[in-house]
Amino acid sequence: MNNTNKSLEVVQSFFNAINARDMGEAASYMSDNHEYTGPMFSTNNPQDYFKALGAFEMEFAVETQDLIGYENSVTHVSILKVVSPVQANIPCCEVFDIENDKIVRQRFFFDTALFPKQ
Amino acid sequence: MRPVKLNILGACKPFILATILFSMCAVSCKSTTKANNEKNKTAESLEVVKGFFEAINSGDMQKAASYMADNHHYTGPMFSTNNPEDYFKALGKFEMEFAVETQDLIGYEGSVTHISILKVLSPVQATIPCCEVFDIENGKIVRQRFYFDTALFPSP
């Protein structure tokens, strides 16, 4: 398997785990020094990332629209579907950097104006 | 009369060997050609997006438009358009001076991801992390999907 296919597989598996709400499995695709930057929070390790994510107390699913990979980079274009307690559809783009089959950097872009108020 | 033994396999050996070698070469050449085509397409797509942003940053919107297909389709958080004219008209309405600072440009065949900082220079200053995903066909941008947080965008 070449780098591109492996990187795509890592990101695909990460989202499969996220959508199955298996955060332990999702974390297994992240490196210990996983760096996340997004409009609502930024973290430097998987534990802080899932803690920050959990603070939203919302049920959501990620609907992949495009998954574009080149070597160690993967662009994931998606719709973030907030399912409850309110509904919202938020167009998103995430750029992943993969090293040694683990996500080391995840940059998330979306418009917070579309995010439901808590 | 002594029977004649025909070693068909032996007689065909050079031919079989040549066929296998030719097939291997054909497969190898095909995959090399495919890899080269992918590389060339990626390089072309990256050049198109680079050229587009160079033109945008130098304020040459006509040149920027030359990189866009007639059916250029733009979607973003503040407006969406279906042709270059409407795109530049919508962009012009902001009456702001800005520059796009590229951070990463990642391409594969007809897709380019452009990660940047949108720097609003005047009448107010703002620094906005952005991501754009471009689809390129026949050397032109056909689709441009823009993602950023409008909360960081200065109020007019």
**CATH number of the domain residue A93 falls in:** 3.10.450.50
Q: What is the pLDDT of residue B119?
A: 94
- Please, are residues B131 and B147 in contact by the beta-carbon 8 Å criterion? yes
The yes or no reply on domain B11-152 and CATH 3.10.450.50 is yes
Q: What is the pLDDT of residue A77?
A: 97
A116 is a domain residue = no
Indicate the pLDDT class of residue B37, thresholds 50, 70 and 90.
Answer: confident
A105 is a domain residue = yes
Average pLDDT over residues B13-27: 64
User: Which distant-in-sequence residues (6+ apart) come within 8 Å of A17 by Cβ?
Assistant: A23, A25, A26, A28, A29
Q: What is the pLDDT of residue B8?
A: 54
Residues of B in contact with A75 (CB under 8 A): 106, 111, 113, 133
A94 is a domain residue = yes
Residues of B in contact with A112 (CB under 8 A): 149-151
pLDDT digits (tens, 9 = 90+) for B85-98: 999 999 989 888 88
Residue B144 has pLDDT above 70, yes or no: yes
pLDDT digits (tens, 9 = 90+) for B58-88: 999 999 999 999 999 999 999 999 999 999 9
- Please, are residues A103 and A8 in contact by the beta-carbon 8 Å criterion? no
The answer for B 40-69 residues in CB contact with A (under 8 A) is 42
Amino acid at B75: T
Instruction: Parse chain B into domains and list their residue ranges.
Output: 11-152
Please state the three-class secondary structure of chain A as a single string: CCHHHHHHHHHHHHHHHHHCCCHHHHHCCEEEEEEEECCCCEECCHHHHHHHHHCCCCEEEEEEEEEEEECCEEEEEEEEEEEECCCEEEEEEEEEEEECCEEEEEEEECCHHHCCCC
Q: For A52, phi and psi rounded to 5 degrees?
A: -65, -40
Q: Does B145 touch chain A (CB under 8 A)?
A: yes
Residue A62, domain extent: 3-111
Percent residues over pLDDT 70 in chain B: 79
Q: What is the pLDDT of residue B32?
A: 74
Q: What is the pLDDT of residue A27?
A: 97
Average pLDDT over residues B90-110: 92
Residue B151 has pLDDT above 60, yes or no: yes
Task: Give the ipTM.
Answer: 0.92
Closest CA to B80 of A111, A78, A74: A111
Kindly give the confidence (pLDDT) of every residue in chain A, 118 residues in length, as a single tens digit, with 9 standing for 90 and above: 688 999 999 999 999 999 999 999 999 999 999 999 999 999 999 999 999 999 988 888 899 999 999 999 999 999 999 988 889 999 999 999 999 999 999 999 999 999 987 6
- Residue found under tokens 């079989």: B16
Q: What is the pLDDT of residue A89?
A: 96
Indicate the pLDDT class of residue B27, thresholds 50, 70 and 90.
Answer: low
Q: What is the pLDDT of residue B44?
A: 95
Average pLDDT over residues B20-25: 63
Q: What is the pLDDT of residue B65?
A: 97
For chain A, the domain total comes to: 1
- CA A102 to chain B, closest CA, distance in angstroms equals 19
Q: What is the pLDDT of residue B9?
A: 54
DSSP B28-62: HHHHHHHHHHHHHHHHHHHHHHHHHHHHHHTT-HH
A86 is a domain residue = yes
Q: What is the pLDDT of residue B96?
A: 87
